[in-house]
Amino acid sequence: MKTAPRRTAPRLLVLLPALALTAGLVAGCSEGGSSDGASPAASASVEASEQVAENVGEFSYEGVDGKTALELLQEKDPDAQVQGKGENAYVTAIRGREADPETEFWGLYVDDELAQVGAGSLETKDGQTITWKLEEIEQ
């Protein structure tokens, strides 16, 4: 009986960020103290976890009374790419990850619920979690 060949590429995509995180932690732990007083291991793990989050296409931050989701996004990621302005703004890239306009978009969520208005119209509140998720366009 013949078995189907196993696909290893998806496993490699999962393992590579984990290996990079491990290597960063080991390298950070093996260095002496840092000049800024911060732990090298702590800074290595933060940088690596941000990279992993970027790879999976999700970015979150806390809401602030009186500020829109778009204003906060641009504060948290000054390099975010946006087409249009204000209520007509459309986010095309976050943390250097550009959505493929043919197959993807950045979806806006408030406390894990899909937002009913755009980022330029969405007034956030203290305590809310604003999350952008890279999603596939259903065809």
SS3 70: helix
Average pLDDT, the chain: 74
- 């197959």: which residue's tokens? 103
Phi-psi region of 95 (alpha: psi -120 to 50; beta: other; left: phi over 0): left
DSSP letters for 101-113: TTTEEEEEEETTE
Please tell me the distance from the alpha carbon of residue 101 to that of residue 62, in angstroms, as a whole number: 27
Instruction: Give the rounded percent of residues in the chain with a pLDDT score beyond 70.
Output: 60
| pLDDT, tens only, 30-75 | 444 444 444 444 333 334 334 444 456 999 999 999 999 999 999 9
Model confidence at 27: pLDDT above 70: no
Going through 52-114 in order, the beta strands assigned E by DSSP cover 58-62, 81-83, 90-94, 97-98, 104-110, 113-114
- 């941000």: which residue's tokens? 50
